[in-house]
Amino acid sequence: MANLSPDPITISEGISYKPSNIIFMAVYSYSRLEAFKSCPLKYKLTYVDRIKRRIDGIEAFMGSRVHEVLEKLYTDLKYQKLNTLQELHSDFEARWGREWHDNIVIRKIDYTADNYFEMGRKCISDFYDRYYPFNHAMTLGLEKEVRFSLDPEGLYQMIGYIDRLDQRADGSYEIHDYKCSGRCPEQSHFDKDRQLALYQIAIDKIYTDAKEVDLVWHYLVFGKEFRSRRTSDQLETLKTDTIKLIKTIETTEEFEPSESSLCEWCDYPDLCPKQKHFFAIERLPINEYLSEPGVVLVDKLSELEKKKKAFKAGIEEEIAKVKDALVKYAESEGVSVVRGSAKKAKIKIEEVDKYPASGTKERKMLEELIELAGCLPDVSSFDLKKLAKVVESGTWGSDFVSQIKEFVVKETKSSITLSKLNDKDLILEEEIRD
Ligand code: SF4
């Protein structure tokens, strides 16, 4: 890539160019990078194909309204206006009504829009009660846009929006982020989080006095605050990792779908090979759904697989019965090979030593006996085949072997091998015929 000395100019969200050489370059955001990591296809549909959907999950809708109310709270504070909680609740209600539209989806069927409305209202109340009168620091920015590059040449550009940027009386900075998620992560999650750490890279550049920066997350549904810090080494590693990820994105040719629990919130099930069929048939009435060709074929295949399994089980049972009868026949006739019309069966019946199975009391005692005698290395930390070999080899003293053999049970084992009749067998057949 060329050296891009002048600052890039944004021509639309996510695309910039440098006037000197007119090289178009992507500007990445944390959510854009995360989209690629969670599902490359979703990334492509959103950021490359730029397919817009007018669908809002109710969680996102509620979260946006809560963010707006908290932004209003701090904006008004700048003008020395401290809202009451009732005023913020009224503002939340007004925004909720104003912004509501028909394409808001409630995916959790047990909850209604009213439940989410109350949830958002409670987020505001808990936040208000916890931080009133909101004077712990000076607010420097709200929904603050930050642009920064990850490398000195400016080849890897990032953009982000900080919910609230504060500076405390001691000079330290705080990057605040509001979350309305229904899941509350553990501290380790925040110590590894990339989003606010990326914003810290920007703050370090913008404010030269930013020596100490706290990353602060407000999990509003739980009324909890989490904090974390990054060292300059950690930020350097983050830059390198992020550049690596951007390079991966920019060299990706096939954006494959990657299924996860996030599919539930995906706006593109109708364009995704993994979800398209589900999306299509879930919209069909039950009678049409059952006659849909794909459904018919999958049902047929699953029925045949079931039959195959049952047939296989039946055949295996039949084989076991025939083998058993063949062993009995060989024993009663005193033969070890039985001739069929095209094949012959060799029957081997032998008595074998059976050592106690692992997990049994006897096995434990046997292991202890061998270990106590210091002979464990001879049997490779208790390999039964090796043990049988050593016992038969006479390496160990006869008294010790006798003690070992007390654990042995004699077992009759039979095996049958089927093979083709050979030339000799066939000559014999001809002679018999003659
Ligand atoms: S439905 Fe899932 S796999 Fe398909 S594009 Fe969306 S997130 Fe990716």
pLDDT truncated to tens, each residue of the chain (434 aa)? 333 334 444 544 455 554 444 455 789 999 999 999 999 999 999 999 999 887 788 999 999 999 999 999 999 999 999 999 999 999 999 999 999 998 898 988 899 999 999 999 999 999 999 999 999 999 999 999 999 999 999 899 999 999 999 999 999 999 999 999 999 999 999 999 999 999 999 999 999 898 899 999 999 999 999 999 999 999 999 999 999 999 999 999 999 999 998 898 898 999 999 999 998 888 888 778 888 888 899 999 999 999 999 999 999 999 999 999 999 999 999 999 999 988 999 999 988 888 998 889 999 999 899 988 888 888 877 788 888 888 888 888 888 999 998 999 988 889 999 998 888 777 766 666 66
CA of 68 to the centre of ligand 1 (A): 29
Sign of CA dihedral 98, 75, 165, 243: positive
Give the pLDDT of residue 5. 38
Distance from Cα 266 to the centre of ligand 1, integer Å: 6
Probe target for ligand 1 pocket from 48, 265, 268, with the most ligand atoms within 8 Å of CB: 268
202 lines ligand 1 (CB under 6 A): no
Residue 3 has a pLDDT of 36
Residue found by looking up tokens 């049958």 in the block: 416
Query: Which of 144, 138, 196, 198 lies closest to 171 in space, CA to CA?
Result: 138
Q: Which residue CA neighbors atom 5 of ligand 1 most closely?
A: 42
Atom of ligand 1 nearest to the CA of 275: 1
Tell me, what's the pLDDT at 293?
A: 87
Residue 42 Cβ contacting ligand 1 at under 6 Å: yes
- Interval between CA 50 and ligand 1 midpoint (Å): 15
- List domains and CATH numbers for the chain: 9-251 (3.90.320), 335-433 (no CATH)
Please list the residues that pair with 351 across neighbouring strands.
Answer: 412
Q: Is the CB of 396 under 6 A from ligand 1?
A: no
Which pairs with CB-CB distance under 8 Å and at least 24 residues apart come from 109-118? 113/58, 116/58, 116/59, 116/61, 116/62, 117/62, 117/93
Buried b (16+ CB within 10 A) or exposed e, 2-24: eebeeebeeeeebebebeeeeee
Provide the Cα torsion 102, 104, 107, 111; round to 10°.
-80
pTM tops 0.95: no
Instruction: Indicate which residue's Cα is closest to atom 7 of ligand 1.
Output: 263
Decide: 356 in ligand 1 pocket, CB within 6 A. no
User: Among residues 99, 72, 67, 77, which one has the least CA distance to residue 88?
Assistant: 72
DSSP 378-431: GGTTT-HHHHHHHHHHT-S-HHHHHHHHTT-EEEEEEEEEEEE--HHHHHHHHH
- Asked whether 268 lines ligand 1 (CB < 6 A), one says yes
What confidence score (pLDDT) does residue 54 get? 75
pLDDT in the model for residue 320 = 93
Estimate to the nearest angstrom the gap between the alpha carbon of 389 and the chain centroid: 47
CA of 258 to the centre of ligand 1 (A): 6
Q: What pLDDT, on a 0 to 100 scale, did the predictor assign at position 433?
A: 62
Q: Which of 43, 256, 275 to mutate to test the pocket of ligand 1 (most atoms within 8 A of CB)?
A: 275
- Residue 104's SS3 state is strand
Q: What is the pLDDT of residue 421?
A: 87
pLDDT at 431: 67
- Residue 276 in contact with ligand 1 by CB distance below 6 A: no
* 278 CA distance to ligand 1 middle (Å): 12
